[in-house]
Amino acid sequence: MVKRVVTGNYAAAFAAMLARVDVIAAYPITPQTFIVEHLSEFVNDGLLDSAFMRCESEHSAMSACVAASATGVRTYTATASQGLALMHEVLFIAGSAHLPVVMPVVNRTVAGPIGIWAEHNDTMPQRDTGWMQVYVEDNQEVMDMTIQAFKIAEDKRVLLPIMVCLDAFILSHTVEPVDFPDQDKVDKFLPPYRPDHAVLDPKDPMIIGSFSPPEYIQEVRYQTDETMRNALEVVEEVNAEWAKEFGRDYGGLIEEYKTEGADAILITLGTVTSTARDIVDEYRAAGKKVGLVKLRFFRPYPTEAIRKVASKCKAIGVYDRAVSFSAGGPSWIEARNALYGYTIPVINVLAGLGGRDVTEPDIRLMFDKVLEAAEKGEAENEIVWIGTRGVKP
């Protein structure tokens, strides 16, 4: 085990090398470019024995990943923002064909107006493509989850592609100390990928995803839905195994922080979680009963885990770094859906869109809003825009 000070992008690339990926198909886009650039160097330097395909667009890169994965090899790419948008139609193919491609997505604003900083409006609209999504908080989690992602995705009960979502620049370009797992331990944790369903055999050719009438497609959808639900259990198992082997426990689907005895709980995802954890400590020290839930998996959505959290508090706030116009933040919409029938207020706090910093005062305001809702049993505004110029939060 070696500790090195690296960017999130380097951690994502190194994790792919530790996972011994067979095929990398890539197209550069800020702020992801360094991930595939590092990998191209690893391949060039002979550190990684992998086919590195330079594609002419993200649409082609994802198409190449689908084709590669369909031959039965471990497949990897990375993208962000517009690149993910361009991949959109091919994402469905990977999901419905049960191809466990692993792809870090460096969360970046989707134009317009054009921007390069952190926002979740690239990945959240892809929730229905049949891809799992995990949101990470720091560079260590980038490393650990990229390796875990292969194991979750390749599990025979799941066999679905997965996005590892990391916030632009805050992680992708920021250096942090990261524990580098030993190769032999990773090999033991993540054996070679040996699928039964998708293998290239010239003697037994097949056409994948061919024209299908309505007699079949509804069942294909049900299959994807069932395997996505199976992933709920597999995520927890893989997390437990990782914790045992490598000593870091991420909580699985969600991570709870000081939720016991909390009246007001904030559900965050991504990097904002770190700041929120500090505020929880500060508020708890001042006798305010607040707690924090880090939503890690957005797909599969941890409905039962969120219900358990709701059953022990008086109000919930859900943080979003993206908005579905007129309807609220995507994470809040999911939480409210999970909590249908629960009588506690569940409010939405929107902040940091377009990569605006989410500061300690912003998060104090979020907790104050949730505490107020917990006390009154209702919320003045269900959707609160924090730090928006000209808008009263």
Partner 1 sequence: MEKYKGYKDLPIMPITDTPSTVNQTGFWKTFKPIFEMDKCIKCNICWKFCPEPAITLDEEGYPVIALFHCKGCGICANECPKDAIKMVMEE
Helix (H, G, I), strand (E, B) or coil at 167: strand
The least distance separating partner 1 from the CB of residue 198, rounded to whole angstroms, comes to 6
Select 156 or 376, whichever has its Cβ closest to partner 1: 156
Q: 209 or 377: whose CB is closer to partner 1?
A: 209
Question: Which residues are within 8 A (CB) of 319 and not within 5 positions of it... i.e. 6 or more apart?
Answer: 266, 267, 268, 269, 272, 276, 329, 331, 349, 350, 351, 366
DSSP state of 103: E
Of 270, 91, 56, 63, which is closest to residue 172 (Cα–Cα)? 270
Which chain residues interact with partner 1 by CB under 8 A?
70, 96-99, 159, 197-198, 204-212, 216, 219-220, 222-223, 226-227
**Minimum distance, C-beta of residue 69 to partner 1, in the bound complex (Å):** 10
Backbone phi, then psi, for 268, in 5-degree steps? Answer: -115, 175
As measured in angstroms, the least distance from the Cβ of 99 to partner 1 is 8
**Peptide bond before 300: cis, by omega within 30 degrees of 0?**
yes
Closer residue to partner 1, CB minimum distance, 18 or 232:
232
Helix, strand, or coil (residue 251):
coil
Question: In angstroms, rounded to a whole number, what is the distance separating the alpha carbons of residues 392 and 210?
Answer: 53
* The token pair that represents 56 in the structure block: 């002419």
Q: Which residue has the tokens 């939720």?
A: 259
Q: Least distance to partner 1 from the beta carbon of 24, Å?
A: 22
Nearest CB to partner 1, comparing residues 98 and 151 = 98
Which letter does DSSP use for residue 324 in this model? B
Least CB distance from residue 205 to partner 1, whole Å? 7
Closer of 97 and 105 to partner 1 (Cβ): 97
Residue whose tokens read 């134009």: 111
What are the structure tokens assigned to 157, written together?
């009960």
Residue whose entry in the numeric block shows the structure tokens 């605006």 = 356
Which strands sit side by side in the sheet containing 132-135, from one edge to the other? 51-54, 23-26, 75-76, 102-107, 162-167, 132-135, 297-299
Burial 56-71 (b: 16+ CB within 10 A, else e): eebbbbbbbbbbbbbe
Tokens of 116: 């390069």
Which DSSP string corresponds to 19-31? TT-SEEEE---TT
Nearest to partner 1 of 219, 249 (CB atom):
219
CB of 132 to partner 1, least distance (A): 16
CB of 39 to partner 1, least distance (A): 27
Smallest gap from Cβ 204 to partner 1, in A, equals 8
Min CB(213)–partner 1 separation in Å: 12
Nearest to partner 1 of 208, 391 (CB atom): 208
Instruction: Pick the closer one to partner 1 by CB: 99 or 365.
Output: 99
CB of 26 or CB of 198, closer to partner 1: 198
Alpha carbon distance 146, 166 (integer Å): 11
